[in-house]
Amino acid sequence: MAISLDLLRAFLAVYRTGSVTRAASLLGLAQPTVTGQIRSLEADLAQALFERRPRGMVPTPAADGLARRVAGPLDALEEVVDVDPTGETPPRAVHLGGPTELVCARVLPELADLLGSGAQLRVRFGLADELLTALADRRLDLVVSTVRPRRRDVVAEPLCDEEFVLVAAPAWAQRLDHPVSPRTLSRVPLIAYAEELPILRRYWRSVFETRLTEVPALVAPDLRGVLAAVEAGGGVSVLPRYLCAGALASGSVIALLEPELPPINTLYLATRAGPVSRAVAAVRSRLLLRGRLW
């Protein structure tokens, strides 16, 4: 029995996105068309592939088995169909997503020399969940993720560990009792990148073994802005070491503590499951090699 490639593409798009609506958008088709394609495929196979639930399409074991068989060949086919009339494959930009600060401070400098070899990059900033969804939907090729992906259609490898440091300007550091404690720090303005204080709360919980209850004096949704405010004497914050390493070396900020086990967060480099293009593979290999040195 011959099965149309269009039906298999529709199936894989629904399987990966978990939604007929998102799959239709990804394929450039109307939602009823994709729904009809899934029903046609299920009829051809005489098997149910998805359970229709309010929150999306849940794959059956039959769908899992089919996806394992067709994902690799279909992905490989997608890489070779975009050919110009001369028979040459046109340059393909690699679409990369990640957190603004890390991508700007570490990722782009590591990839700069690839541009001279003909590589093309398109960069998107955002939060991990939205970037991983874009990766699964084929709108991105690679994502530097601050959380470990838990999606079946995404594979991820550890890229690096970011270490967090409690920092303040020298003027504040000189005024504090040492070793610093939550009590002494309660008199210092807190500078954060989000109202929820995720990095600060984690540091307090991990190092001081207590909850942080203070309200931040300044919230700036970019860690580079947080660092600038700390350097200017605005108060205290917790930052990734890679971001404040230069300021620590110059003395414009001081590490208030050097705990034996500082809080860390593992970053991951994520791609879609299955084959990747040579351009994507080159970027991925470069980052995995250099990331271990960060």
For residues 254 and 169, membership in a common domain is answered with yes
Q: Which domain holds residue 35?
A: 5-80
Any bridge partners for residue 156, and if so which? Answer: 270
- Number of structural domains found in the chain: 3
pLDDT tens per residue, range 111-133: 998 888 888 999 999 999 999 99
The answer to whether 248 and 167 are in contact (CB under 8 A) is: yes
Residues 274, 131, single domain; the answer is yes
Given this model, what pLDDT does residue 255 score? 97
User: Same domain, yes or no, for 173 and 259?
Assistant: yes
Domain assignment present for residue 278? The answer is yes
Percent of the chain with pLDDT over 70: 94
pLDDT at 166 over 70: yes
Mean pLDDT of 279-283: 89
> Do the domain assignments include residue 89?
no
Same domain, 14 and 151: no
Helix, strand or coil, per DSSP, at residue 273: coil
Contact by Cβ (8 Å): 150, 156:
no
* pLDDT at residue 273, rounded to an integer: 82
For residues 272 and 152, state if they share a domain.
Answer: yes
Q: Are 202 and 154 in a shared domain? A: no
Residue 85 is assigned to a structural domain of this protein: no
CB 42 within 8 A of CB 49: yes
Q: Is the pLDDT of residue 53 over 50?
A: yes
Which tens digit of pLDDT belongs to each residue from 60-107? 999 989 988 887 788 767 655 544 443 445 456 899 999 999 999 999
Residue matched to tokens 């007929």: 20
Average pLDDT over every residue of 15-43: 86
| 167 and 247 co-located in one domain | yes
Radius of gyration of the chain (CA): 24
Q: Assign residue 114 the CATH number of its domain.
A: 3.40.190.10
pLDDT at 99: 95
């997608």: which residue's tokens?
Answer: 78
Question: Which of 31, 47, 80 marks a domain boundary?
Answer: 80
